[in-house]
Structure 1
Amino acid sequence: MKTQRYTGYRSFSYLEAGTDYPEFTPSAEVDRLPGHDLGVSAGQLARAERLLADNIVVSLHDHPVRLPRDTRTELLEWNRGARLAYGYEGLSRSGLDAVFDNLGWGACESRNGGKWDDVITDLGMRFCDFAHQDYVVRAESVAELRRAHADGRLAVVAGLEGAALIENEIDRLDVLYGLGVRQIGLAYSDANALGSGLRETRDGGLTALGRRAVRRMNQLGIAIDVSHSGDRTALDVIEASDSPVLITHAGARGLWDTPRMKPDEVIRACAESGGMIGIEAAPYTTVSPRHRRHTIESVMDHFRYCVELVGIEHVGFGPDTFFGDHLDLHHVMSGKWGVADTIRGGPEFETVEAVAGLENPGENFRNITRWLVKHDYPDDDIAAVIGGNVLRVLEKIW
């Protein structure tokens, strides 16, 4: 197992909980649920650990915070405070070298990526916590991702799921870049001034302001994500961008017909731009006809579909998980924002308590690597999909 420099730090331990800030009991980041048995042999386990140790492992999309243990009662109050406990210990056991952390949950009261002041607060709170420990480091370049791997640290790339917060101020993209943001989604499911989200019944495509934003993000070196964009908007972004475009967390609509998945046309266009897709694992997203009970097996059905569609060099993983009860989070946010229709509007699936094998950022990539080993993927292919493809694409974008 790769050596990490984590020494036991807990979020905000430089303050007094209950006195300096409201205290919430966070979910366990280790062993919250029983581990998933993939049925791998001792030799396969050893090979998986070697691959994790020898290669730079990157999650294209996660939320590595510890949800409140009583999610349904405390989530919204916890969210407003922006003081979100980070899963340092769980991450130290994950095999990850880098994670794209999509901010905007703390203090975020609006849909589609949050308000400007809220997200700036979220960034500052997160980076203040990072500044009081030396395991997690902020990363803004590929060189810093490589350095984290060499030093036994975890590189965190700051990202945003939606760009509504820039309103009509293109220069706000420069400010976000200056504050360390290196990846932004155009729209977070609902339409904004830049383009349409995947929840819209009519996709108006990329707006004139959106085209200016794409150009500015290309100039700055911000990776553009179309995971939550509508299909027409996604295609317009890919056409307008001079840099490769990312689908950081989604799956294949050709396999599971919901708006949250991407059609073949978008996945192909993304790959042809030089970009890639990260396979999603949030509950009830990447279900498949062969595995209607959402587990690592249904997620990997989407992986295989996308590999066959565009080639293994354009596929990776963006599991989109938390430390805590993701389904309870869905229930709370469905009540607040009405988001369930993008997941439940498709084929019938079996209900689960969690996505077995891909339930939190601390276990995802270890299980993904073990699954790939079990299914006899070559070392070079495994190295590519657990991080090598991300590095290659980022070299072009950043």
Structure 2
Amino acid sequence: MGADKQYDGYDPYDYLEADEDYRHFDLTSKTAGFEPRTLELTDEEEERLAELTEDTVLSLHEHAFQFPADIDEDLFDYIREGRIHTAYEFLAETPLDAVFDMQLDGLSSVHSLHGWKWDDITHEVSMRACDLAHSEYAFQCRSVDDIHRARENGQIAVVQCVESAAMIENELDRIEQLYGMGVRSMGITYNTSNALGTGGGDIRERDGGLTGFGARAVERMNDVGMAVSVSHASPQTSLDVCEVSDQPVFDTHALAKGAGMGARGTSDEVFEAIADTGGVVGLLSSTHLPDIETYMEHFEYVVDLIGIDHVAFGPDVLYGDHTELLRTLSEFHGMELPESTLESEYVDGLENPTEAWQNIPRWLVANGYSDEEIRKVLGGNVLRVLEQVW
């Protein structure tokens, strides 16, 4: 993480007056709804940890903002207000130099009921970018140099991302517009299918894979320098993207079918295809696992499968009650969530970005990984890909 974090006390939208310029909501505290846990290290391991986190530490997938304290009552009003609060103070307690922030995704419904519309996504991207521009600690990341600058200066570079390309509809030029706004990573689908391909949750009798338009969209993302992710895409769509892309491909957050996730997991074949592009798989945590130990079993499985050079961490956690959020959304959309999604009230040791990024490096140090291996999975592997893609 380079220099000590230089958080300056800036709160989101401090340039305005709460409840005068916009509606104020009570937001979650850092430890609401769970019992925090810090993995213990020896004094010697603590010294080693401090040295290792002097190098770049990067999360491939988070939602790095605060949700309302009362999700059931305030969630949709908070979203419609159109000002999501980046958790600057909490992030400053992590070793992170950069974070791929996936924003609200399908919850980004400022102007529509079900989200993913062009106006919804561009509203959130531009509003978050404006707020970031007023912080001295966090800033919008547009290049690899920005990540290095953040590490050197004790700041955090926020990579604005979207998990689905649904909002581009049939307009390739919108990829360039999003890039111009600062978006540097985009998924193909988010569970449901769109003009680009079949979603991972939308397979009926057959998997339609990537469409012709989807192939052209991948090529345009390659051309402009936007990272491509296959998270939430169907298996065939993922394989097709890996075949079409001239650049390394990400899956920013995934769990392994072969390590016990069943239908919720990603197949070895897809992981291997991503690695064959030179890409990286980020390991997912949120709500599907009981604790950090189970999470790291998936990490070790994927490392054994595709090699340490192609693995990183994308816990996909947030500041708020993640399980209650999923319950609220399932009721709103009238859908039933898989049992595994709601088995754990919280993930012990990984419940939010602060806890996750304090504990992941600690686990690696305590479990015999070499300095080189730790530096790769904490940030080096992702930087290698970004130096090529961006």
**TM-score with structure 2 length normalisation?**
0.94
Structure-1 residue corresponding to 2:167: 165
Change (3 A) 1:45 1:337: farther
CA distance in 2, matches of 1:187, 1:339: 19
Structure-1 residue corresponding to 2:232: 228
Q: Aligned-pair distance for 1:110? A: 5.5
Give the counterpart of 2:362 among 361, 364, 370.
370
Residue correspondences, number: 384
**1:275-323 residue CA offsets vs partner (Å, 9 max, x unmatched):** 0100001101xx3xxxxxx111111011000000000110000011111
Structure-2 residue corresponding to 1:290: none
On the 8 A contact 1:61/1:320 being kept in 2, the answer is yes
Name the Cα RMSD after superposition: 1.8
On the 8 A contact 2:38/2:355 being kept in 1, the answer is no
Structure-2 residue corresponding to 1:63: 63
CA distance in 1, matches of 2:160, 2:335: 24
Aligned residue identity for 2:26 = T
Other structure's SS at 2:39 match: coil
Structure-1 residue corresponding to 2:328: 332
Other structure's SS at 1:247 match: strand
Question: Which deviates more, 377-386 or 71-80?
Answer: 71-80
Give the counterpart of 1:211 among 208, 211, 215.
215
Structure-1 residue corresponding to 2:83: 83
Structure 2 gap ranges (5+): none
Q: Aligned-pair distance for 1:7? A: 1.3
Correspondence list, 1:386-397, <5 A:
386-397=378-389
CA distance in 2, matches of 1:120, 1:37: 38
Other structure's SS at 1:182 match: strand
Q: Aligned-pair distance for 1:30? A: 5.8
Other structure's SS at 1:254 match: helix
On the 8 A contact 1:321/1:360 being kept in 2, the answer is yes
**1:1-23 residue CA offsets vs partner (Å, 9 max, x unmatched):** 85111111111122221121111
On the 8 A contact 1:81/1:107 being kept in 2, the answer is no
Query: Is 2:351 the partner of 1:359?
Result: yes
Give the counterpart of 2:123 among 114, 121, 124.
121
Structure-1 residue corresponding to 2:374: 382
On the 8 A contact 2:63/2:101 being kept in 1, the answer is yes
CA distance in 2, matches of 1:380, 1:16: 47
Correspondence list, 1:135-284, <5 A:
135-201=137-203, 202-284=206-288
Structure 1 gap ranges (5+): 288-293
CA distance in 1, matches of 2:248, 2:87: 31
Other structure's SS at 1:63 match: strand
Change (3 A) 1:106 1:192: closer
CA distance in 2, matches of 1:258, 1:135: 41
**TM-score with structure 1 length normalisation?**
0.92
CA distance in 1, matches of 2:333, 2:226: 28
Q: Aligned-pair distance for 1:258? A: 3.8
